[in-house]
Chain A
Amino acid sequence: MNALPSPAAAGNPAGAGRLALQALMVAGLALLAALPWLGADDYLIAVGINILQYGVLATAWALFSGPTRYVSLATVAFFGIGAYTAAVVGETLPWPAVLAVALGISVVLALVVGLATLRLSGVHFVIFTFGLAELVHQLVNWYEVNVTRTLGRYLFVDITQVQIYWQLLALLVGVLATGWAIRRSRLGLALQVIGDDEVVARHVGIDTTRAKLLLFAISAGFIGLAGAVMAPRWTYIDPAIAFNPVISFQVLIMALLGGANRLFGPLLGVLPVAILFELLSGSFPNHFMILLGLVFMAIVYFIPNGLFGLLQRRRHRAGKEGSK
């Protein structure tokens, strides 16, 4: 989470290079979208869903935590709310309305939590988000036990795996497009300034709390949507499944590994970690958490700036040697 070595190291890709990159991205996207028609089997789609899910979550997480450097440990709180909302209203409302409700609740919760904690220092925010998932978990539990008297719900909706896959892909495009747009907006500049020096930010007229709040809500909205989209995959949902803290943890690992300060950084981290965990959880189910902890610590100690930072430093160094 340290500052990137130097923006100059990123360099400016020439116009032609950028165009080629964009063409490549569109082609890649088309390929991903067409994957179900290209004879991908169920297993491949399942892997794709897993990767896309974390892609959305990690990118959305970094949307807020990257520029502001507020480490949010609450990913699963919003994810779980999205999933649980889908489980509650999924069979009574049309699917787009379900997504809208999940989005709305996540955003409102983020605004309430943010309003209460973002005015305070970063540590308060971390502590609060550390417990938020557990808090929401307990509250949902309490509500289900005392009010609805049904702990655990079945969700039968007519949504196939492939449809989930496409929804997640669309969501990923949505997060990336939003991140791209923010970077070019006044809000993006405000966040860059806040990330660099919050005191200066206030003294150039930035309402820092409002900027952070807005971004936190946007990020939480996407995470909640991802939860709702994923819900039909489980058919059975109870609070322990929806609010599993390991999800927050994995998202954090991926985003940090990739590099939280870049739009595409988190995606870079999703691929290796998702594959690694897929292998680990299959081969060492009992040691999974230990390995999770070890992988995480290895990243914090050895790749503090993320893979993106690592690549950049390489390029920077190569560039320097080349110019000698």
Chain B
Amino acid sequence: MLIVDVLLAGFTLGGMYALIAMGLTLQYGVARIMNLSYGEVLVMSAFGTWFAVTRLDWNPVAVLLASLPLGYLASWLIYRVLMMPLVRRSGAGPALEVDSILATFGLLFLLQGVLLLAFGGNYYSYSYLSQPVDILGSQVAANRLVVLGFAAAIGLGLYLLLTRSRLGTAVRAVAVAPRFAPLVGIDVWRLSAIAFGIGGALVAGGGTLLSMFLPFSATMGVVFAMKALVVVIMGGVGNLLGCLVAGLMLGFAETLVARFVDPGLTLAVNFALFLLVLLLRPAGLFGRVAR
């Protein structure tokens, strides 16, 4: 069944993009850091998972449980050590955007260099739950279903955290009005570090999930970061629902083009979609137009 094939592939890919983009939208929408090295964290996590699974005989799901807190910690540290000086220097003004883009651009090359040194430029993968499952007459690898399930669970967890908890309310307050949040007793910098960390947890989790069903290489982080950025901006910065919708749009567009036109044109489709959305709605699908 072609339709089921396309639906499942589109949902898995789109769900992954949405998950990764949610992390980035937290980093950019709340902590105001445009993190170009975001994709490298994803790839590092994928390689970490590969190492744990193939060398230490861990179960990938166990790795997922470890990679979430590790991703949080690593990103929290990146924010405190590398980003804080820039935040202080710019007074969180407009210069921060340019400075953070430049600093994380440097970080991108640094991390990619480390990965290339450790693993070279080849593709890596491992086998996990690759036996096919029959769904409505269509054969699907079981790992894709597992990935889809976890991606949905993590996304839902984040949504509940942001809408139902005190911490989430504070995070949203910083996203909407960073200048006024301190007036109600919110420590903006602490919250920014936490949001940046949560973003890191999501992308690390995304890397582990990615490694379960796709081969990966040291240099593919850039493309993922770019797609995540495209999703974030298409959906409207800081908007989780926007991430979901834009992520799925991208996932389906890519799946359709790869299936029916040419796999070599997926990036072109991404960009075409990106431009189309921005020309029609400059603030993104769910973004608010600034006053």
Contacts and interface: CB of A to CB of B under 8 A. Distances in A.
Q: Are A and B close enough to touch in the complex, i.e. CB under 8 Å?
A: yes
Contact of B222 (A245, A289, A296): A245
Contacts of A291: 113
Interface residues of B, number: 43
A290 B114 contact: yes
Contact residues of A: prevailing secondary structure: helix
A256 B229 CA distance: 24
A135 B271 contact: yes
Interface in B267-291: 267-268, 270-271, 274-275, 278-279, 282
Contact of A71 (B102, B108, B262): B102
Contact of B97 (A116, A123, A138, A249): A123
Nearest to A296: B106
B231 to A, nearest CB: 11
Interface in A234-293: 245, 249, 252, 256, 286-293
A280 B128 CA distance: 41
B112 A289 contact: yes
Interface residues of A, number: 43
Contacts of A130: 36, 226, 229
A296 B108 CA distance: 10
B242 to A, nearest CB: 15
B226 A131 contact: yes
Overall SS of chain B's interface: helix
A69 interface: yes
Interface string B222-259: 11001001100100000000000000000000000000
A145 interface: yes
Interface in A108-143: 116-117, 119-120, 122-124, 126-128, 130-131, 134-135, 138-139, 141-142
Interface of A: 1-2, 69, 71, 73, 116-117, 119-120, 122-124, 126-128, 130-131, 134-135, 138-139, 141-142, 145-146, 245, 249, 252, 256, 286-294, 296-297, 300-301, 304
Interface of B: 34, 36, 82, 85-86, 89, 95, 97-99, 101-103, 105-114, 116-117, 222-223, 226, 229-230, 233, 262, 264-265, 267-268, 270-271, 274-275, 278-279, 282
